[in-house]
Amino acid sequence: MTTHNGSNPRGTAPPGTSLVPVRTPERDGMPVLPLAAPATVVHPVMVWWRTVVVAARALPLVLSFVRDHRSRIVRGDRVPRSPAFHARRAARLVETLGRLGPTFVKLAQLLGARADLVPEPYLAALGTLSDQAPLVPLAAVRRTIAREYGTPADEIFEWFDPAPLAAASLGQVHRARWRGHEVAVKVLRPGVERLVAADVRAAERLLALAERWFPNPHLRGVRNAVREFGVRVWEELDFRHEAANAAAMRANFAGRAGVAVPRVEPSLVRRRVLVMEYMPGTRIDRLQHLVASGRLDAEELVRRVIELYMRMMLIDGFFHADPHPGNLYYQEPPEGATGFGTIVVLDFGMVVPVSRELRRRLARAAFAGIRRDADGLVDGFYALGVADPRADRATMRALVDALLDVAYTKGTTARDRIELLADRVMSTLYDFPVTLPGDLVYFARTAALIEGLGARYDTRFNGVTFASPVALRLRREISAALREPGESELAWLGGEFDVVGAVLTSALGGAMGGAVGDVIGEIAGAVYAAGREIVDLIAGIVGPLVAPRRNGDGAER
């Protein structure tokens, strides 16, 4: 075994150095670091240069949108634009953002969940922007490792794969072997900290200028989103934060079958390098071969992903805020074993805590939606800050009615629902004082992930009706985590039996579903006093029945 200065075997700390992070308060063995302003110093010339570059590349698109705005002022309505024109302009927008580099790729992914700020088809186009980047040369990767550890990579790792496993906008991942274990080594992209710092300042300057010329709530919302991004992105640029997040997430899912979080190697945590357990698998959006061969039930996969995020959002209060298929992998069960395999969760650079009060509001709104309780959902929108406090309640009620009708429209594809939303909802949502608070943006991205995943394997997938039985099955755990002392176990959610009835209504449809739901509600109410076990039994029977069943061609049956 090669040694450093004849005394240091690979896989151990080099002499005179410590591979242990600076001591701070700890969580599950990993340092907990306060979110602070970046220490990166950016020369004003670089900021001005990036401002010029961004402005120059964005100018053609800006002028196109300005023409729309001026025409609206002169004519009193929007300039007529064909759907094909908007599609072409959305494609140019995505291309321009991709050319501007990693900062704008990450920012676009965040805005891709902001239906309150970005209208269709631009919203959908932003969701297609891939977080891929050119490869970092191996020599640059090795230099970063040597600077962070004070010794070459070959003196730390027994083997280091020169070919990267992945190259994203902020970092690059290589496979290696450390102390006999297969590990994944994540290395920050050289120069990305200065680039992000300059780009955020450039974007803020340009948006402030645009808002001065064209003041409106949407530009102000985009500017606030950039400001939020400018704070949160530094968590992703400091791998010590990611290490602490991964350790906490691993503890939350410890002992839960079907979910795995890689183990962090604490002694190898650095600001720009992170070493974690290597977990092979296949991206969850590339499993068609397993579904086609019968080795994987696509419905069960989507159900597990929904439960995973529901637990993070409503039970644990510690939420993986960068949900996209590249951060979720699937491992098949061991050879000879049957059943569902394991979902591997990756990339913990952006994880947000969810306060108990916010979780209570989210839960109430979610169960109101399941019950198709429009008034309850309107109350939820106001409580969550989605509706402007000055917004007229009657208008909000009309908006919620339209949303519920679209969500529960049967036999539609994802594209059908997008068109319905565009026709009946999006114009109101974009023009009305409705906004998505910063702490809800990440949850919206999760909804987009689930809808996209389900539609990949079933063209008629409906995330709302599919997720309802999962929420019902978790309702007691959600209530146990969130109810106040003295509150009835489930009444604070709005009534569990109304929930069951409403799901039956949406599943069976029309008067029949409503009647069956009412009858079951009455029966369940009567037996509740006889014991919770009976209610659990009924829910266990009803839950699978209300989940939409589909044939192999995607049609409901």
Q: Among 322, 347, 458, 498, which one carries the catalytic annotation?
A: 322
Residue 14 falls in which region: left (phi positive, over 0), alpha (psi -120 to 50) or beta: beta
What contacts 44, CB < 8 A, 6 or more positions away?
A: none
Cα(265)–Cα(218) distance, rounded to whole angstroms?
Answer: 44
Tokens standing for residue 212: 């001065």
Cα–Cα separations (whole angstroms), residue 368 to 303, 444, 498, 502, 538: 20, 17, 10, 10, 21
Q: Is 322 one of the catalytic residues?
A: yes
**Residue 208: CA count within 13 A, CB half-sphere:** 8
DSSP letter string, 276-313 = EE----EETTS-HHHHHTTSS-HHHHHHHHHHHHHIII
Residue length of the chain: 557
Cβ atoms < 10 Å from Cβ of 333: 14
3-state class of 199 per DSSP? helix
- Which letter does DSSP use for residue 490 in this model? T
What contacts 509, CB < 8 A, 6 or more positions away?
A: 410
- Pick from 58, 142, 151, 154: which is nearest to 97 by CA? 58
Cα(531)–Cα(48) distance, rounded to whole angstroms?
Answer: 69
Catalytic residues: 322
